[in-house]
């Protein structure tokens, strides 16, 4: 049985001396000053997260959390809820985008049933294949447009599951992914509530709604905000408006941050989980690398809330962790540039003149 959730302590990583040493190492590689652009800033961030001038990444883990939403019955998505369990099965047999990309980049893939509306059968994973963890809180959340999506106890259970799952994973890097028909609505609701932004600015097409569908979606989401008007603190908002998979991700992010893992954030929904986690423990953001800017309306505003600089901007809006997987080689490159690229002194190359 999973222990009750206790908010982990997430310390401030600020170390001016280490940051200065890292910047000196980066500046004196055999290149014009700043010429590797964002890769240099990424190398600096990885060094600070790991507390070393020679950061290294090992046994990276892709965590895909899945759950269903009562809101989906209100037509907030272009796809039916059955797609959630069908995609979980697709992840496990290796046919989804995140499955393919995880194989390509050597990422361990763990899929967690946090609250899928259909029972999913337990199974053993072959070595090197995706593993399934059953941490189902309930068969989907309640309809947030008429009241809280979760009870406080259910939210706490999902948070505890996320922390427990991370404690059991190897490696020093966690890549975030999700699956749940209707969960772009959850991300929009959490952003609107926690940042005080209008729904019209943070609500988009999700899986492919047309203009009329987006209008209907906004109306339903406004009902959800109105029905849960008193849920203003981060945890209250998460319970009232969120999903089991989002709450599980919040717990996972907090645990990974406490363990000083590198956290690679995917798109709109995983960013919503990080937003909630950062409102609970602000220093979470020091451990995060934001993979990309999603094509989903509202993601740029969410990134701005966290002062995040995404690595990629490819118009992605698939989710699953696909953007995090695509960005992963950049983290590897940042580490090898920092660790293996020659300095002007070691290579006997003259530095630029003033």
Catalytic residues: 320
CA–CA separation, 78 vs 44, rounded Å?
A: 41
Q: Which two tokens stand for residue 305?
A: 């809330």
The angle, 0 to 180 degrees and rounded to 10, between the axes of the packed helices 183-195 and 234-241 is: 150
49-64 per-residue burial string, b: 16 or more CB within 10 A, e: under 16? bbeeeebebeebbbbb
243-260 per-residue burial string, b: 16 or more CB within 10 A, e: under 16? bbbbbbbbbbbbbbbbbb
CA–CA separation, 310 vs 292, rounded Å?
A: 5
CB proximity list for 17: less than 8 A, separation 6 or greater: none
CA–CA separation, 281 vs 319, rounded Å?
A: 25
What element of type H or E holds 178? Answer: strand 173-179
3-state secondary structure of 264: strand
Number of H helices, E strands in the chain: 14, 6
Closest alpha carbon to 251 in 121, 91, 63, 13:
63
Q: Which residue has the tokens 């600070």?
A: 48
12 contacts 286 by C-beta, under 8 angstroms = yes
- The alpha carbon torsion through 19, 20, 25, 31 (nearest 10 deg) reads 100
CB proximity list for 23: less than 8 A, separation 6 or greater: 44
246 contacts 149 by C-beta, under 8 angstroms = no
């Amino acid at each position: 049985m999973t222990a009750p959730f206790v908010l982990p302590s997430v310390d401030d990583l600020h170390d001016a001396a280490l940051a200065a040493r890292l910047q000196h190492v980066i500046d004196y590689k055999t290149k014009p000053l700043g010429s590797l652009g964002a890769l240099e800033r990424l190398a600096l961030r990885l060094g600070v997260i790991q507390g070393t001038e020679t950061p290294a990444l090992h046994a990276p883990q892709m965590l895909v959390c899945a759950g269903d939403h009562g809101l989906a019955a209100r037509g907030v998505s272009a796809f039916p809820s059955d797609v959630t369990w069908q995609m979980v099965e697709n992840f496990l047999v290796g046919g989804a985008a995140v499955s393919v990309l995880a194989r390509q980049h050597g990422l361990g893939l763990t899929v967690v049933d946090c609250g899928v509306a259909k029972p999913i059968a337990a199974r053993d994973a072959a070595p090197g294949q995706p593993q399934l963890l059953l941490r189902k809180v309930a068969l989907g959340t309640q309809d947030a447009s008429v009241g809280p999506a979760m009870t406080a106890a259910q939210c706490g259970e999902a948070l505890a599951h996320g922390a427990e799952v991370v404690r059991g994973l190897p490696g020093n890097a966690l890549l975030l992914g999700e699956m749940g028909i209707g969960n772009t609505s959850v991300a929009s609701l959490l952003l609107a509530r926690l940042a005080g932004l209008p729904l019209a600015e943070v609500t988009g097409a999700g899986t492919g709604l047309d203009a009329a569908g987006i209008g209907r979606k906004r109306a339903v989401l406004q009902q959800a905000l109105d029905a849960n008007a008193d849920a203003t603190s981060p945890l209250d908002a998460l319970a009232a408006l969120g999903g089991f998979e989002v709450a599980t991700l919040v717990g996972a992010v907090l645990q990974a941050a406490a363990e000083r893992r590198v956290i690679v954030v995917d798109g709109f929904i995983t960013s919503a989980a990080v937003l909630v986690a950062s409102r609970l423990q602000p220093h979470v953001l020091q451990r995060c690398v934001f993979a990309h800017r999603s094509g989903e309306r509202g993601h740029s505003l969410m990134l701005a809330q966290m002062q995040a600089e995404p690595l990629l901007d490819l118009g992605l809006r698939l989710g699953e962790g696909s953007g995090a997987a695509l960005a992963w080689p950049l983290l590897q490159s940042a580490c090898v540039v920092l660790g293996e690229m020659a300095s002007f002194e070691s290579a006997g190359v003259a530095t630029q003149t003033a």
